Amino acid sequence: MRTELAGILLAATALTATSASAKDAPGDAVVAAMGPILATAPDAAAIDAKCDSLVAEIQRRVTELEGETGPASVGTTLTRFDAITALLGGGSGEFTLYQQVMADDARRNAGGACQVRLSGISSKIGLSRPIYDRLKAIDASGEDAQTRYYLKQALANFERSGVALDDAQRAEVQALQEKIAQVGNDFDANIAAGEKSLKVAPSELAGLPQDWIDAHKPGADGMVTITTATPDYSPVMSYAKSDTLRHDLSVIYNQRAWPANDDKLRQLLELRQQLAEKLGRRNYAQLVLEDKMVNTPQKVETLLQDMADAARPAAEGDYAKNLKVLQELRPGATDIRFWETGWLAPIVQQRYYDYDPQEARKYFAYNDVRDGILKLAEDLFGVTITPWKTPVWDKQIETYEVRDHGKLIGRFYFDSHPRPGKYSHANMIPLRPGVVGGKSVPLGALVMNLPQGDHTTGLMEHQDVETFLHEFGHMLHHIFGGTQRWFAQSGVATEWDFVEAPSQMLENWVYDYDTLAKFAKDKDGNPIPRDLVEKMNRARYFNLGFGDMRQLGYSNISLELHQEPVPENLGQAARYYRGAFDLIPTPDFVQMQDSFGHLNGYSAIYYTYRWSKVIADDLFTRFEKDGLRDPETAKEYRERVLAKGGTEPAAQLVKDFLGRDISLDAYRADMAKAAQ
């Protein structure tokens, strides 16, 4: 999930803001200040105009806060600051959505340009000495714990931003922040525009599922076009028998946005290093980690090594199984090549575990999976999810609202299918926070790239089902944690290296037969057989260590590029850092650093996915013990973890649910199973 966690993300909704009345909650006035929402697909001029209006409103409020007189207080000063935070987050979410989902460059670029403007305003506010001094003067000793925690965090953020520097130095920091935002936006735009394709003869498609072949008819030239979009890339790399096809698709996939983004990435790394030095830090990794759960580069390095020590035996066992099967298929093979790993996995699963992913695939049609995931949320958390009639930006969009015992508590969009120029992976954008006692409820959007339709056109891999549920886990976190006193603590507002944990924990339910049997059906309506799910679970731990070692390699790229001097050859450096963990050598043609979007959004902290996995495994031990459908456990999890939003440190939320501190024991136990 990519998201701006410095503020609350809001985005396009079908609601039109109206003037707040005297009966409305104070937060409703902030929602009203956002102005009319561009719910249907606006043109670029409308996006620009909305940005101008929002920027003017934020600047008006900043001027008001900087000129505030009289005693500083929670009711005046902090409330005004929180409203500005909400408006900045509102703009960030809205224009992030436009950049990711609009159908043409003009509108996507308009969304990106506004993000850059808002980022500049945000960094300027973080350097405002008058605002910092007003917040510092607040006496919050008589306030509730959440308010004291919020104020403490806000002051610490100002101090990390460089508010103590003199005027000239603050101006230099501001200029660097604005350049970083612009270069990062350009980096993302190049990735979105970097989709590639190749043409192959129909005979090259041997091994691919028939429904996929049926959906890829030859063109007038008799050739089939295959793109680097996920619904093309994943099946080809998993099932195509043609080694040439998998190799060639791997080449273009791993060269998306290359070489254009090499220059952008170099600029991004250099600017971040300059910023870190201006703020008195050795490097950017040190700076960005200071407010995380794992808060120093050295601690991250130790975490990666501890996880590698647990995962390596399983990974080596996975490699041995893959190699043995490869040698049966290709006598004389001595090692596994980069483009063979995805193809070998389903073959190994059949040979060792009697599990065929293509057999399971026929039970996962998009429409059924979507409905099944919604039903799981209803059953687990006691809510009701129904269609929501509202304008949308594309005919593919699906809309829903969530009620708890009849009370509306949230709304969301599914933008689930690929389109040219659209964001190419999967994420949840928190679009609007709730307001305590007010009319506004949390709203978000899942932006994904899944096959569309029924058993004819919309069959999904089991891993796609897992991805869908993962992203929807973020949505549940956003909605259940989305009504707080303060906008900045609403929804997914915890430490950045915790936000993936609830979603990763929820992935376990796609291996549960009782869950799958409710929605996994073939074209004739027959539910997925229990013995197939049992085989799936036996195969589940295969490649777990192998995959984690690769993810640790990605984490190492992210961390080391932000600690060391910018390397002359970025591709070579990325391959080297990855190779410190990944068991498969990375070929010279791989230039994945240029399409590794997390290097912009996550910078040095891609490790957060691994640390969150440790927490997720630990959280799941309660459900393993009490039952995946135990209502009391689910209720406690919702109330003690999800519903708290960002009102307490994440470590405390976990401790409240588990009754103890976080441990790597559950992660190590899973890897021990995988090594068997």
pLDDT (tens digit per residue) in 202-225: 999 999 999 999 999 999 999 999
What mean pLDDT do residues 258-281 have? 97
- Name the region of 547 (left: φ>0; alpha: ψ -120 to 50; beta: rest): alpha
pLDDT, residue 432, reads 81
Q: Average pLDDT, stretch 251-259? A: 98
Helix H or strand E encompassing 506: helix 501-506
Residue 16 DSSP symbol: B
Q: Encode pLDDT of 528-572 as tens digits.
A: 999 999 999 999 999 999 999 999 999 999 999 999 899 999 999
Which range is least confidently modeled, 1-15, 59-73, 77-91, 111-125? 1-15
This prediction's pTM: 0.91
CA angle 642, 646, 652 (to 5 degrees): 75
> Helices (DSSP H) in 507-597: which residue ranges?
513-516, 530-539, 544-560, 570-579
Residue 21 is predicted with a pLDDT of: 42
407-415 and 443-447 strand pairing: parallel
Residue partners of 231: CB distance under 8 A and separation at least 6: 418, 449, 450, 451
Comparison of pLDDT for 90 and 369, the residue scoring more:
369
Omega prior to 331 cis, within 30 of 0: no
> Quick check: 572 and 579 in contact, CB under 8 A?
no
- Using only C-alpha atoms, the chain has a radius of gyration, in whole angstroms, of 25
Question: Helix or strand or coil: residue 454?
Answer: coil
The more confidently predicted of residues 243 and 455 is: 243
- pLDDT, one tens digit per residue, over 64-106 is 999 999 999 999 999 999 999 988 987 898 899 999 999 899 9
Q: How far apart are CA 194 and CA 257, in angstroms?
A: 5
Supply the pLDDT for residue 36.
Answer: 46
pLDDT at 13 over 60: no
Mean pLDDT for the chain overall: 92
Nearest CA among 74, 35, 81 for reference residue 56:
35
Place of tokens 């501001």: 174
Do 447 and 423 form a contact (C-beta atoms < 8 A)?
yes
Gap between the Cα atoms of 244 and 207, Å rounded: 13
Q: Cα–Cα distance between 104 and 118 in angstroms, integer?
A: 22
Q: What is the pLDDT of residue 18?
A: 31
Give the model's pLDDT for residue 523.
95
Say what the pLDDT of residue 9 is: 29
Bond prior to 631 in cis (omega within 30° of 0): no
pLDDT confidence band for 453 (50 / 70 / 90): confident
The beta-strand segments (E) located in 320-451 are 384-387, 398-404, 407-415, 427-432, 443-447
- Residue 526 DSSP code: P
Whether the predicted pLDDT of 146 surpasses 60 = yes
Rounded to an integer, the average pLDDT of 659-668 is 97
Tokens of 172: 């230099």
pLDDT tens column, 278-320: 999 999 999 999 999 999 999 999 999 999 999 999 999 999 9
- Rounded Cα distance between 448 and 467, Å, is 9
pLDDT given for residue 436 in this prediction: 74
Q: Which of 391, 413, 416 is nearest to 402 (CA)?
A: 413
CB 87 within 8 A of CB 33: yes
Rounded average pLDDT over 50-67: 95
pLDDT value for 15: 27
Q: Does the pLDDT of residue 24 top 50, yes or no?
A: yes
Q: Identify the DSSP state of 595.
A: T
Q: How many CA atoms lie within 13 A of 65 on its CB side?
A: 28
Whether the predicted pLDDT of 415 surpasses 60: yes
Q: Residue 424 belongs to what H/E stretch? A: none
pLDDT digits (tens, 9 = 90+) for 603-641: 999 999 999 999 999 999 999 999 999 999 999 999 999
- Looking at residue 17, its pLDDT comes to 30
Is the CA virtual torsion 19, 22, 28, 29 positive or negative? positive
Which pair of tokens denotes residue 193? 């525009």
Q: How much is the average pLDDT of 398-418?
A: 96
Q: Dmax over Cα atoms in the chain, in whole Å? A: 83
Of 559, 544, 543, 668, residue with least CA distance to 607 = 559
